[in-house]
A and B are shown apart, each in its own frame.
Chain A
């Protein structure tokens, strides 16, 4: 553990830490392009120059390991001049098409120019014309070779992380070009990450291009609901610019660093899987079946109707199919309401999917639900599987089915069984966010919020409990599931009322042994494992928070 001095401040860092990372712990940012903490060191951008006492020449911070007693200066005149000069070189052959570049606002050429450049260019700016401009190189990524600073991060990503080797740098000197290898497409399952790590506008996201200017985006931390890995993400949402991005409120998802879960990355399936949040099939109003038709109704009417039907039947005649897309807090309330409150014995949550989830050995898991582990830990299912519940329903044993989210009619379940179960049951209550075939069979529809519209927590397959946060308000009259359940409990006069998800989580941690010791404070922004043993010391997050882009 060497101790060194950076700009007059002492810091002790683990062996082999480089100067950039050591400076980061002191809040000192050393500008760089090619270095990325998740990739090997290339040392080619020459931007992270620092001065080291007794060294004859400036050194690159990314490639200089910290040693005992080292004295580093990151802000001397010599260093500033070198940065300025390297920037001047980079910009002398850069198209400067910022007004039409989608990276504008989050471009590190722009950012560093404002911080370290600010000169009148003295160069002859004979820009080199390159062959690919705004060309798609895969299903998700667009390439502009002229904007590329040839840092090689994307090449290293495809070589080292996905090991798929689609990208290369071709040619020499200032005619060098980034490109896909002949006959290849950048179509690996993690291709979107190259856009995140591209420091400039060379690689842009085909999905996000020209949808909204990045300075109109708000950022909220969350967790990807796409599979049981629970990759940490940021939801980038459109702040008050509804005329941009065709009214899409959630503009894009970006991975958020978590050393325990996803490091710096996320898969394309998760990244582009958020579209249902602003999709046209969102249910924006509670609905009641009046005759043959489902008609819009108020929350008061629907909740009263639900409570009435629930009260009217024996709890043994109620089947509940909960949903592993619900948060821990919501699943706890499902248990609290149906099992503990009403005494239901038939509560399941998992529904087999039609197609294989296609897990891999990196991030993607086959289970496409973010909270299967949480549902299990909370004590679901009770007694029967979904199949058993539907069997019983089709035999006419149930008078009421409460289905959360699932489209049973497009699932991997035996379809005639689903049909007969739905037909044989008197009342079907559906609670979910998006419309589908199963919704059409419901008698009462309770519109709920998506993951981006609510707070709570998910437990990933490894037992890490991680928080999600509301980025945008629920669409229309939709409400977070926990609020719907809370209101329903009120309508059923259960005698409980929760003020918020933290309130629920506190009680969950007290009542469910696996969650014991956890609190929102303990979870922090990196989550914590089930079975956590609290200490007397104040909880300090285990990892420093690292921004996504760098």
Chain B
């Protein structure tokens, strides 16, 4: 790629690329991110290429591996343009039919379409209920762009925001971001414009911008998806930010466990450098800036700003006490602006469409959209981008398609391990930074884990507390010892050793850890326990006082029995029981020997007559 020397040159090139794209009307996108690859998207692409070659269409139709458009549950997704016919869960064997039927004959392959609950097939991607209720700003080009090809990004309006920003003064750029009301998407929710401003005004020649891509919440993968699917949007945001702040060096701190994100990012950075969008004298404006990638070892705590910077400097990734905000003294004690992946990716959108337009989306104090990773007991698992203030109910039922197997919704965990659980009665809560905090949870980086009636909330609290204990760096006492104590008590409750005083003790410990820990990891480590105690206290009490797990999850507190009315003596459970603990005459109701039973639940899974009872 030739180096672009001026803003005008970039405009000319973009126009040329757009024309070129328009001429190639028919093309196929295959979502090719980590989750799709796990389902064989690589092979689907190869099969489609092969099929096109066979049918002599290889020169006319391009197959593009793109980012994931979010509907992860249905990957690999194949969309045939220009009609945007969306096929789901495509396998390599479907390639011939797609090429033969759709491309050549212009017919739809019915069986690969999405079928809604009423049995109607949905042809177009945009009509899928999963997408219909979303407002996709950051994810708008996921599923359209080849992340390894900068011309794709340029052709879809990429780097127009940068061209625009470079004609503005840095103060004007900051003013625009401030007016948009954008708040940090990593969880803190700090006003981005204000952060940039204080870094801009901080004393010192050398300044840094950092992209925090140390996404570590279990079940959350927004940042991974953005880096894998559209790395240039993050790079463009960072260049604009660096220009506004006066930084010449930027870092992306990304988990080494995100190999594809790292690969795509490194490719994108090199392409941007080759095009003159990074490096010396960017687009002839005299502005110099470059970005380096730093791979983190996967410690959850390294997402905390001071720990991240310590790790970047090559020191142990542990948080530090600081009087001075990192905007004034951060990386190598220089003024540093740290933003999350999604925050950076929002920047070009704001510059392109204007602060007023952006501020018109969302609620009074939370502007724009937010990406959530909707996982757990939900029909449509995937990445969801909605305007701030969208009620939880809409996200779960309209977009997520509700709970599988007709089970009852119980709670949704938001904000990752440090977040909290929101119960059914709060489902109409509009999701924004402040409202989630009010109910004892938090926005966090956007993880949403849906739980159904079969989920034990004490068990959930135990899991998340355990996660946080494992990830506690150990530097400060309350987090190091407190998380271990809370986990121990929660384990005891789950294993039937709960003591009557444990609930009060847990609450007390939780508040101590919250109030006295050094960093936000400890400061929020009690949230999973405290929020479940707040909303599901009865479940704790059932475990402790009645030695009963209402959800039938905690093995020490449950018994499997066989309903003699329903059991027809088929013997499947007896065959599958690893303990040989089920016995009975053929065609006669069986029974379980409680001494042998290890409560693995296999009998319940294999029984086709719902004859295995849990109590």
Q: Which A residues are within 8 Å of any B CB, using their own CB? A: 41-47, 49, 57-58, 60, 63, 65, 81-82, 85-86, 89-90, 92-93, 122-124, 126, 149-150, 152, 168-169, 171-176
Contact = CB atoms under 8 A, between A and B. Distances in A.
Given A92-B485, A124-B485, A43 B515 contact: no
B512 A85 contact: yes
Interface string B528-544: 00000000000000000
Interface string B484-523: 1100110010000000010001001100100111100000
A58 B517 CA distance: 10
Contacts of B483: 173
B477 A43 contact: no
Contacts of B501: 122
A174 B470 CA distance: 9
Interface string B583-603: 000000000000000000000
Contact of A93 (B469, B478, B484, B505): B484
Contacts of A46: 476-478, 516-518
Contact of B472 (A90, A168, A173): A173
B470 A86 contact: no
23 contacts: A41-B321, A42-B321, A43-B476, A44-B475, A46-B516, A47-B477, A63-B321, A65-B323, A82-B515, A85-B512, A89-B482, A89-B485, A92-B485, A124-B488, A172-B474, A173-B470, A173-B480, A173-B483, A174-B472, A174-B484, A176-B473, A176-B474, A176-B480
Given A46-B518, A65-B323, A124-B485, 12 more contacts: A43-B476, A44-B475, A44-B518, A58-B516, A85-B512, A93-B481, A124-B488, A124-B492, A150-B474, A172-B474, A173-B474, A176-B480
Nearest to B301: A172
Interface in B435-485: 469-478, 480-485
Contacts of A171: 474
A44 B321 CA distance: 8
A43 B474 contact: no
Contacts of B470: 172-173
B299 interface: yes
Contacts of B508: 85
A89 to B, nearest CB: 4
Contacts of B485: 89, 92, 123-124
B323 A89 contact: no
A82 B484 CA distance: 18
Contact of A44 (B476, B505, B509): B476
Contacts of A42: 321, 475
Contacts of B473: 172-173, 176
Contacts of B518: 43-44, 46
Nearest to A85: B512
Contacts of A63: 321, 323
A86 B478 contact: yes
B474 to A, nearest CB: 4
B299 A60 contact: no
B488 to A, nearest CB: 5
B516 to A, nearest CB: 5
A123 B320 CA distance: 28
A386 B313 CA distance: 57
Contacts of B482: 89
Contacts of A43: 320-321, 476, 518
Given A41-B321, A43-B321, A124-B489, A49 B475 contact: no
B579 to A, nearest CB: 29
Contacts of A152: 475
Contacts of B505: 122
Contacts of A60: 321
Contacts of A169: 316, 474
Contacts of B299: 172
Nearest to A49: B516
A93 to B, nearest CB: 6
Contacts of B509: 85
B488 A126 contact: yes
A82 B517 CA distance: 11
A146 to B, nearest CB: 14
A463 B141 CA distance: 77
Contacts of B489: 124
Q: Which of B299, B473, B489 has the most C-beta atoms of chain A within 10 angstroms of its own C-beta? A: B473
A199 to B, nearest CB: 12
Contacts of A123: 485, 488
Given A43-B518, A150-B474, A173 B484 contact: yes
Contacts of B492: 124
A45 B475 CA distance: 8
B494 to A, nearest CB: 14
Pick the 10 closest A-B CB pairs, nearest first: A43-B321, A89-B481, A176-B474, A85-B512, A173-B472, A44-B476, A173-B474, A46-B516, A124-B488, A44-B475
Given A124-B485, A126-B488, A90 B474 contact: no
A41 B518 CA distance: 13
B477 A89 contact: yes
Contacts of A126: 488
Contacts of B469: 173-174
Contact of B477 (A86, A168, A172): A86
Nearest to B501: A122
A126 B474 CA distance: 17
Given A57-B515, A122-B501, A175 B474 contact: yes
B168 to A, nearest CB: 38
B216 to A, nearest CB: 14
A173 B476 CA distance: 9
A198 to B, nearest CB: 16
Contacts of A124: 485, 488-489, 492
A475 to B, nearest CB: 47
B470 to A, nearest CB: 7
A90 B480 CA distance: 9
B490 to A, nearest CB: 11
Contacts of B478: 46, 85-86, 89
A174 B321 contact: no
Given A63-B321, A92-B485, A172 B472 contact: yes
Contacts of A174: 469, 472, 474, 480-481, 484
A486 B323 CA distance: 61
Contacts of B475: 42, 44, 150, 152, 176
A465 B501 CA distance: 63
A44 B472 CA distance: 13
A192 B475 CA distance: 24
Interface in B300-336: 316, 320-321, 323
B529 to A, nearest CB: 15
